[in-house]
Chains A and B, each alone.
Chain A
Amino acid sequence: MTTEFVFATAQYDSGDWDSAPLLPANIIDTIARYTEINVAPTGVIAPLSDARMLRYPFLYLTGHLPVRFSDAERRNVRRFVERGGLLFIDDHNHDIDGVFHKTATEEIARTVAPLTELPNDHALYSSFFKFDGPPTTSHELNGWGDNLVHKHLLAVQRRGRIAVLFSSKDYSSEWNYHPDSKRFLSVDNTRFAVNLVVYALTA
C-alpha cells in the first residue's frame, strides 16, 4: 500500500483561506469514487509559513480577500515549487478584475514566475476523464464576479510540469458542498478534481 494522498488546504495569513470548508471532503470522496488511489479520509490544513507544508506536494488555495505572502510564506512556496509540488489556486470571487486575482497573480509572478494560459489540449484535461478544456461551473455567470466564462486556466510550468495552476472559474463554490449531495446530481461536477489529483500524482 502506498502512502496516502492527503488533501491539503493552504493557509495564508492575509485572507480568508478557509472559504470553502466542504471542498476537501468532497474531493476526497470523488477520488475514492473513481480511482483506487490511497487517499486519506480527511484533509489537512497546511500553513504556508510553516516549512511542514512541504510534506504535502499538492496544495489547494482559495479565498476572496487579497493574497499577500509574508517572507516565510514566499520562501516556502518557492521551495515547494522547485521541489516538484503543485499549487492549485482558485479565485473564489471568479473576478479577474478583483483583488484576489490581482494580488494572487502578482504574488505568484513575484515568487515563482508569471502565469500564462494553459492550452486546452494539455495532458491535465485527459489525465483521467476527457475534457475539452476547463469545465465550466454554474457560478461563472451567476451575476457575481466578472460574469465571464473563462476558457483557459492559467499556469506556471516547470520543466514541462504544471507547478502552479490558477483558476478563475470558482471551483471553490462549485465543489463546496457535502459529498452526500452528489447522489442528486445527474452529472458529478467534481470529476475534474480527479484529473487534477491524478495529474499531480503521476506527472
Chain B
Amino acid sequence: MRSLRRRLELGCRIGAFALLGWLIGTSIFRAPRRAVERASDRELLARLPSWTRTPSSVALHGTLDAAPTPVVLAWLSALRHAGHGVTWSGSPPAAVVVAEPVTAPGGGVRVNVAAPANSRVTVGDVAGTIDSAHVAGLGASFTLPLTVDSLIVRVNQQRQAVARPNDVPPRAVLVVGDAGWEAKFVAGALEERGWKVVTRFAVAPNVDVRAGEQPAIDTAHFAAIVAIDSTVAALGPAVQRFVEQGGGLVLAGASAGARSVSPLAAGAVGARVRRNVAANDTIGLGSTGFYPVTSVREDAVALERRASAVAIAARRVCAGRVLQVGYDDSWRWRMAGASGSEAAHRDWWSRVVSSVAFTPALPANEEKTFDAPVAALFGHLGPPRPAPVASSGNVDPRIPLAIILLLLLVEWTSRRLRGLR
C-alpha cells in the first residue's frame, strides 16, 4: 500500500505532466481571442480602414452621439456582412430632413427638419451656412430663396445632406373679380413677381377686361384661382372641379360667401373688421381691415389671427388646397404703406398663391431629397446594444508554468525528505 506521501508525489507528477501537456496543446491549437474594437462617431471614419483588416473575430462597436454618414454606415454594414460583429450604442438625434421645391417663379427650396425638441438645427449648402433655428416643437422649417448645389443640415452635431430639388415652374394663376383696385394690384403684384396671370375683371354687364387667352379651368393650365370677390360665382362648378383635381383656390375678402365656392371655404365670412387708423398712420396689411373667417371648419387650420378674429384659414379639399384670406384692401398697403411696401405686398401675395398652387408630380429624382439617417442606422445595424465584453482565448502561460514548477518542487522535496534522490 502506498502511503499518502507517495500518492501525493504521484499526484504532483501527474498534475505537472498534465499541465505541461495542456500548455503544449494550447500553443499548437490556439483558442479564438474575443477582442472588441470601439470608436466614437467622430473616430469611425478614420478607424474603418484598420477595422477592415482585423479578423472577423474582433467585435466592432461604435458609440454614436450622431448618426454616421452614409459612407460610414455602408462600410459598417459591409463589415457586418463580412462576419464582424458590428454593434452600436448611444442616442443620436432622430432627425429627418425633407427638401421640396417651392412652387413659385424663381423657385426656392423648403426644408422641413423633424428633430427632437431643443435641438439646434442649422441649414446651409456648399457655399456656407444659411440660417439656423432652435426647435421648440417637433422640428424646424426653412424656406430658402437661393441655394447652391446640395443642402447640408446639422442637427446638433449630426450632419445630414440632401440633394437640392429641381425647380418646379408653376402654371398660370387666374385672377377673377370686379374691376377695382384690389383686383388690379393683386394681378399686378403676381405678374411682377413672375407669375403668369390670366385675368377676368367684370366692368359692366357682359363687358369685362380679360387676358387674351382664356384656357379651360383645370390643373393642366392653372396652378391656382384667386377670387377677389363674389364674381367668382360666375365660374360656376368649374372651380370645385378644379380644386378637387388638385388646384389651389384663394378666396380673398368676402368671396368665400359666393354660393359656388362657399362649400370649399375654410369657414364663413364674418362682418368686416375695420381697424382704427389715424390719418397719419402708416398703412400696413393689418390696418387695411379684413373679413374674418368665422365658424372655422373642423378640418381647417387657422393660420393668422388679428385681435380675436381669424384673418386667414386654410383647408384641404380632396387633392386641392383652399386658402381663405380675409383681406380685401391689401392694395392700400402697397400704395400707401411704408418704404418697401410695394415689394412686401408683391412677395406676400406670391407666398399666398404659392402655398396653394398645384404642383405636378415630379419625375423621380436620382438624388434623394430626404434623409433619415437614424432610421437607416436601425435598418442596417439593428437597434443599439451594449458593447460586448472583451475576453482573451488563452490563459497566461506563466501561471501553469508556475504551477508545474511548484508541483515538481513539492514532489522532489517530498522524495528528498524521504531520503531518495
Chain A contacts to B: CB under 8 angstroms: 1-3, 5, 34-38, 51-52, 54-55, 57, 80, 82-85, 127-128, 159, 198, 200-203
Contact = CB atoms under 8 A, between A and B. Distances in A.
Interface stretch (B39-47, B127-135, B155-163, B198-206): B198-206
20 contacts: A2-B181, A2-B182, A2-B253, A2-B328, A3-B328, A35-B179, A37-B203, A38-B180, A52-B336, A55-B335, A57-B185, A82-B342, A83-B341, A83-B342, A84-B185, A127-B209, A128-B203, A128-B204, A202-B199, A203-B184
Contact of B204 (A34, A38, A57): A34
Nearest to A160: B191
B288 to A, nearest CB: 9
Interface string B312-349: 00000000000000001101101110000110000000
A57 B279 CA distance: 17
B203 A2 contact: no
B203 A198 contact: yes
A3 B207 CA distance: 20
Interface residues of B, number: 34
Nearest to B254: A1
A52 B178 CA distance: 25
Interface string B186-202: 00100010000001011
A198 B335 contact: no
B101 interface: no
Contacts of A201: 179-181, 183-184, 201
A18 B336 CA distance: 24
Contacts of B178: 2, 36-38
Contact of B331 (A36, A37, A57, A198): A57
Given A35-B203, A198-B203, A201-B180, A3 B188 contact: no
A52 B205 CA distance: 33
B177 interface: yes
B229 interface: yes
A35 B386 CA distance: 81
Nearest to A202: B209
B212 to A, nearest CB: 11
Contacts of B334: 83-84
Contacts of B283: 55
Contact of B336 (A3, A35, A51): A51
Interface of B: 177-185, 188, 192, 199, 201-205, 207, 209, 228-229, 253-254, 279, 283, 328-329, 331-332, 334-336, 341-342
A37 B180 contact: yes
Given A82-B342, A202-B203, 8 more contacts: A3-B328, A35-B204, A36-B204, A55-B283, A57-B331, A83-B334, A83-B335, A83-B341
A3 B202 contact: no
A55 B199 contact: no
A201 B179 CA distance: 6
Nearest to A36: B204
B228 A55 contact: no
Contacts of B254: 1
B23 to A, nearest CB: 97
A55 B179 contact: no
B203 A3 contact: no
A38 B178 CA distance: 9
Nearest to B187: A202
A54 B184 contact: no
A53 B241 CA distance: 43
A43 to B, nearest CB: 16
Contact of A36 (B181, B185, B202): B202
Contacts of A34: 204
A80 B334 CA distance: 10
A195 to B, nearest CB: 11
Nearest to B180: A2
Nearest to A35: B204
Contacts of B205: 36
B336 A202 contact: no
Contacts of A1: 229, 254
Nearest to A197: B179
A202 B201 contact: yes
Contacts of B192: 159
Given A35-B204, A198-B203, A3 B181 contact: yes
A35 B204 CA distance: 5
Nearest to B204: A35
B209 A3 contact: no
A38 B228 CA distance: 14
B105 to A, nearest CB: 16
B207 A2 contact: no
Contacts of B342: 82-84
Nearest to A198: B203
Contact of A2 (B204, B229, B341): B229
Given A55-B335, A83-B334, A84-B335, A3 B204 contact: no
B345 to A, nearest CB: 9
